[in-house]
Amino acid sequence: MKKVYGTAAEALDGLLHDGMLIAAGGFGLCGIPELLLQAIRDAGTKDLTFASNNAGVDDFGIGILLQTKQVKKMISSYVGENAEFMRQYLSGELELEFNPQGTLAERMRAGGCGIPGFYTKTGVGTIIAEGKEHKDFDGETYILERGIVADLSIVKAWKADDTGNLVFRKTARNFNPPAAMCGRICVVEVEEIVPRGALDPDSIHLPGIYVHRIVQGDHEKRIEQRTVRKKEEA
């Protein structure tokens, strides 16, 4: 099975359609599948629902798809750095399903493991719990959350071999593995594709069974919030 493709557009060929649910990895601006998001923008696919921790910023990440009005709904836990997201949400142009961060990650992981739902205490007594099934266990109330199964997963990894075994780098490891797991088809962009057998089996973060297509590319690697120390005077 061929998994390595030459460009992001080639890796997404035949997979995109209007109205689909896409799970996207990344946290802030770390580990965002930026090349695949650009290819989705260029393809013009619309009415999209994204399950993603955040929506990037105005001109990067999912933010570029908000600018072109290709996103219909966001399933997210944090959206605080995107002015266009805020504008569209407050004007009623964009649907939003808020999730606690851990709940969103577990919804993705559960979907990838074939678990249709799970109970959690997080969100009980808040707006998050409205309309959801409540159940008591050992005297504590929990709410039912459904697993997420996406039409497509797009994620970014540090290294891959040609079978799709993945290694993520530092913070990029948080949402990318569960996002990769929950897609019916998973497309990965990586910084480096290494020969088969070059990855230490004990260091592989996600096995290739979850990965269907891979593309290698150059990445911008933006810093979301840069904090520096003032220069000391001599």
Tell me the per-residue pLDDT of 106-143, one tens digit each, with 9 for 90 and over.
Answer: 999 999 999 999 999 999 999 999 999 999 999 999 99
CATH class for the region spanning 4-216 = alpha beta
Is pLDDT at 175 greater than 80 in this prediction? Answer: yes
Is pLDDT at 100 greater than 90 in this prediction? Answer: yes
Query: Quick one: what percent of the chain has pLDDT higher than 70?
Result: 99
Joined together, the tokens standing for residue 21 give 């649910």
Q: In the prediction, which pLDDT does 220 show?
A: 79
Q: In the prediction, which pLDDT does 230 show?
A: 83
Is pLDDT at 225 greater than 90 in this prediction? Answer: no
Q: In the prediction, which pLDDT does 145 show?
A: 98
Q: In the prediction, which pLDDT does 59 show?
A: 85
Domain ranges of the chain: 4-216
d(CA 56, CA 96) in angstroms, rounded, equals: 15
Closest CA to 26 of 49, 60, 65, 52: 52
Q: For 3-7, 120-124, 171-175, 228-232, which range has the lowest pLDDT when averaged over its residues?
A: 228-232
Q: Specify whether the CB–CB gap between 34 and 40 falls below 8 A.
A: no
Cα separation values, 179 from 71, 112, 142, Å: 18, 8, 24
Q: In the prediction, which pLDDT does 234 show?
A: 61
Number of Cβ within 10 Å of residue 159's Cβ equals 20
Is pLDDT at 15 greater than 90 in this prediction? Answer: yes
Q: What is the mean pLDDT of the chain?
A: 94
Q: Specify whether the CB–CB gap between 203 and 231 falls below 8 A.
A: no
Mean pLDDT of 166-173: 94
Is pLDDT at 71 greater than 80 in this prediction? Answer: yes
Mean pLDDT of 52-66: 90
Mean pLDDT of 153-158: 97
Mean pLDDT of 189-215: 97
